[in-house]
Amino acid sequence: MLIDAHAHLDFKDFEKDLNLVIKRFNGIIIQNSVDYESMKKTLDISEKYENVKAALGIYPLKCLKLTEKELNEKLNFIKKNKNKIIALGEIGIDLKESSEEKKQIKNLKKFIRLSEEIKKPMIVHSRKAEDLILEVLKDTKSKVILHFYSGNVTQVKKALEYGFYFSVPTIISNSKNLKKLIKIVPLNRILTETDCPYLSPTKEKRNEPVNVKHTISVIAKIKNVSEKEVENQIYKNYKNIFE
Ligand SMILES: [Zn+2]
C-alpha cells in the first residue's frame, strides 16, 4: 500500500479528472487543505473516496490574512469536524514569502494547541524557517510530520531527537539535499508525499499521487533494501502515526 501524505486534490488542476487520478493510485492519500474553502472541499473529497483521508489546516501565508477572530472561527470549524480528519495540515511557517515571523509563530501555536486538544498529528510546512520550526514544535505532545523539510544534517538530527517524522516529496530524484536526508533518517521515520499538483518529478507536468512510486525506488536504492520493504515500512509508519 503506497502513501501520499501530502496532496492538494482540491486544486483546479484536478477539476477535470480527479476520479481517474485517485483511482490510478493504489494507496492512501492525505488531502491537505490550505484555506477555508479548501477545508470544505477536503471534507467532501474524503467523504467521497475511501482511500482519501482529510487533514484540515490553513497555509501560513493565508493565515496571515485572517483576523484573530476569523482564525479562531476556522479553528472551531476544524474542532467541530475532528472525527472526520486524521491530522492538521497544511500548517507551518514560511519566511521566504513573508517576514512576519511573530504572527506566524503565534498562529502556528494555536494549531499546536488544537492538535493537542483533539489529539491529531500535524503536517507542517517550513520554508526558510528550518531552525525556527523545530524550536516552536519541540515541546509538543502531538506527532509531527515535517513536509518537504530542507534542513541541514544538524537540523535533521535535532528533528529526529524530537521524534519527528519526515515526509519526502517526489522531487527527490533532483535533490541532493533530500537524498542526504534519506541517508540519515531511519526508515521508520519516513513517509512519502507528492505535494501535488506541485513539485512534479517531471518538469512542467502536473504532479499526482501515482508518482510516489519514484520516491520509493530512490529510497530503496539509498537504503539498499527492496522497494517492497520500503513500501511496507512506510505503510506501517502511516498506521503508527495516524491510526
Ligand atoms: Zn502543500
Domains and CATH numbers, the chain: 2-236 (3.20.20.140)
Among the listed ranges 41-55, 71-85, 162-176, which one has the minimum average pLDDT value? Answer: 162-176
Q: How confident is the model at residue 98 (pLDDT cuts 50, 70, 90)?
A: very high
Q: What is the per-residue pLDDT across 144-154, written as a single tens digit (0 to 9) for each?
A: 999 999 999 99
Model pLDDT for residues 23-50, shown as the tens digit of each residue: 999 999 999 999 999 999 999 999 999 9
Mean pLDDT score, 55-65:
98
Write down the pTM of the prediction. Answer: 0.97
CA of 123 from ligand 1 middle (Å) equals 9
Contact 32, 42 (CB under 8 A): yes
With cut-offs at 50, 70 and 90, classify the pLDDT of residue 1. very high
Cα of 35 vs centre of ligand 1, distance in Å, is: 12
- Sorting pLDDT into bands at 50, 70 and 90, what band is 54? very high
* Partners of 32 in the β-ladder: 55
Cell numbers that stand for 4 in this block: 501520499
> Of 56, 53, 55, 123, nearest to 92 (Cα)?
123
The secondary structure of the chain as a DSSP string is -EEEEEE-TTSGGGTTTHHHHHHT--EEEEEEP-SHHHHHHHHHHHHH-TTEEEEE---HHHHHTS-HHHHHHHHHHHHHTGGGEEEEEEEEEETTT---HHHHHHHHHHHHHHHHHHT--EEEEEES-HHHHHHHHTT-SS-EEEET----HHHHHHHHHTT-EEEE-GGGGG-HHHHHHHHHS-GGGEEE---BTSS-SSTTS---GGGHHHHHHHHHHHHTS-HHHHHHHHHHHHHHHH-
pLDDT digits (tens, 9 = 90+) for 220-241: 999 999 999 999 999 999 999 9
Looking at the chain, the whole-number percentage of residues with pLDDT higher than 90 is: 93
Query: Is a pLDDT exceeding 90 seen at residue 173?
Result: no
**CA 59 to ligand 1 centroid distance, Å:** 8
Query: What spacing in Å lies between the alpha carbon of 90 and ligand 1's midpoint?
Result: 6
pLDDT-derived band at 104, boundaries 50, 70, 90: very high
Q: Calculate how far, in angstroms, residue 242's C-alpha sits from the geometric centre of ligand 1.
A: 18
Mean pLDDT (whole number) for 135-156: 97
